[in-house]
Amino acid sequence: FLTDKYADFIDANRKEDPVERLKTLKRLIRDLPEHHYETLKFLSAHLKTVAENSEKNKMEPRNLAIVFGPTLVRTSDDNMTHM
């Protein structure tokens, strides 16, 4: 995700209304540069496959988010407290 859009993604995820949250996140993802969008699409498909096999690999969506979240969405100053 783009560093300059970090705050937009965080704000979108904090929306209380799930429909509005999803709409905003979809718009932000659609607005990514094409190469970022295609990489995210490929990675999401792969992580979905991993999650579908969580009975064997123990990597359910929550665990995947813990592992990949800080790598995919990070502040420009790399401050883990803000994450």
DSSP state of 33: -
C-alpha 66/C-alpha 31 separation (Å) is 25
CATH assignment, 2-72: 1.10.555.10
Domain spans, the chain: 2-72
Q: Which residues contact 60 (CB under 8 A, 6 or more apart)?
A: 51, 54
Q: 36 is written with which tokens?
A: 């970022």
- Taking only the tens of pLDDT, the chain with its 83 residues reads 678 888 898 899 999 999 999 999 999 999 999 999 999 999 999 999 999 999 999 999 999 999 988 887 776 666 655 55
pTM value surpassing 0.75: no
C-alpha 31/C-alpha 59 separation (Å) is 29
